[in-house]
Structure 1
Amino acid sequence: MWPATVLLLLLPCLLSSADTGTSININQSETVNMDFSDAPFKGQKPLRGVKGQDTCSIPCDIAVKLLRDEKHSVCGQLQQSLVAFERGTRKLITNMMEEQQRSLDVLSNQVTELMTKVQMLSYDIQRSSAEMYSMKSVQSHGRDCSDIKDSLVSVVPKIPSGIYIVHPEDTDSIFEVFCEMDYMGGGWTVMQRRMDGLTDFKRPWTDYADGFGNLAGEHWLGLKKVFHIVNQKDTRFQLHIALVSQDDVTSYASYDDFHLDTETQFFSIHLGRYAGSAGDAFRGYDQEQNQDTAPFSASDVDNDGCNPFCSIGNRTVESCSTRHNQTGWWFNQCGLANLNGCSEDAEQNQGQRTHILWDTWRQNGIPHSIKSVTMKIRRITTNN
Structure 2
Amino acid sequence: MWATTVLLLLLLQPVFSTTEGLIGHLNQSESVREVFSDASVKGQKAFRQAKGQDACSIPCDITVKLLRDEKHSICGQLQQSLLGFGRSTRKLIRDVMEEQQRALDVLSTQVMELMSKVQLLSSEVQRSNTEMYSIKPVQSHGRDCSDIKDSLMSVVPKIPSGIYIIHPEETDSSFEVFCEMDYMEGGWTVMQRRSDGLNDFKRSWADYVDGFGNLAGEHWLGLKKVFHIVNQKDARFQLHIALVSNNDITSYASYDDFRLDNENQFFRIHLGRYAGSAGDAFRGYDQEQNQETAPFSATDVDNDGCNPSCSFANRTVESCSILHNYTGWWFNQCGLANLNGSPEDGDQNQGRRTHILWDTWRQSGVPYTIKSVTMKIRRLATNN
Q: Which bin holds the TM-score, normalised by the shorter protein? A: 0.7 to 0.9
The aligned residue for residue 100 of structure 1 is 100
2 CA distance for matches of 1:369 and 1:244? 9
Could you say what secondary structure the match of 2:150 adopts? Answer: helix
Correspondences of 1:149-298 after superposition (within 5 Å)? 149-298=149-298
Deviation at 1:376? 0.6
1:53-91 Cα distance to aligned partner (Å, 9 max, x none): 99x9999xxx99x99x99998997787567545534533
2 CA distance for matches of 1:342 and 1:165? 29
2 CA distance for matches of 1:330 and 1:113? 62
1:126-147 Cα distance to aligned partner (Å, 9 max, x none): 3443444344443333222222
RMSD across aligned positions (CA): 4.1
2 CA distance for matches of 1:92 and 1:318? 93
User: How many pairs align?
Assistant: 352
The aligned residue for residue 307 of structure 1 is 307
| Distance 1:169-1:90 versus aligned 2 partners, 3 A rule | same
**Which 4+ residue blocks in structure 1 deviate beyond 6 angstroms?**
50-54, 56-59, 69-79
Deviation at 1:362? 2.4
Greater per-residue helix proportion: 2
2 CA distance for matches of 1:215 and 1:372? 15
Alignment check: 8 A CA contact 1:298 1:327 kept: yes
1:82-107 Cα distance to aligned partner (Å, 9 max, x none): 75455345334423432332332243
| Distance 1:145-1:106 versus aligned 2 partners, 3 A rule | same
1:328-383 Cα distance to aligned partner (Å, 9 max, x none): 11122322222122347361699x99722222222333332222211011122212
Correspondences of 1:1-384 after superposition (within 5 Å)? 84=84, 87-343=87-343, 345=345, 347=347, 355-384=355-384
Q: Scaled by the length of structure 1, what TM-score is found?
A: 0.74
Alignment check: 8 A CA contact 2:325 2:344 kept: no
Deviation at 1:252? 0.7
1 CA distance for matches of 2:130 and 2:353? 49
Could you say what secondary structure the match of 2:118 adopts? Answer: helix
Deviation at 1:269? 1.1
Could you say what secondary structure the match of 1:275 adopts? Answer: strand
Alignment check: 8 A CA contact 1:345 1:354 kept: no
* Code of the aligned partner of 2:327: T
2 CA distance for matches of 1:368 and 1:75? 112
| Distance 1:80-1:237 versus aligned 2 partners, 3 A rule | same
Deviation at 1:270? 1.5
Could you say what secondary structure the match of 1:111 adopts? Answer: helix
Task: Select between 85-94 and 140-149 the one with higher mean Cα deviation.
Answer: 85-94
Task: Select between 322-331 and 123-132 the one with higher mean Cα deviation.
Answer: 123-132
Deviation at 1:267? 0.6
Q: Identity percentage over the alignment?
A: 78
1 CA distance for matches of 2:205 and 2:308? 20
| Distance 1:271-1:89 versus aligned 2 partners, 3 A rule | same
2 CA distance for matches of 1:239 and 1:284? 17
1 CA distance for matches of 2:349 and 2:321? 14
Alignment check: 8 A CA contact 2:224 2:263 kept: yes
Unaligned runs of 5+ in 1: 9-49
Alignment check: 8 A CA contact 1:203 1:298 kept: yes
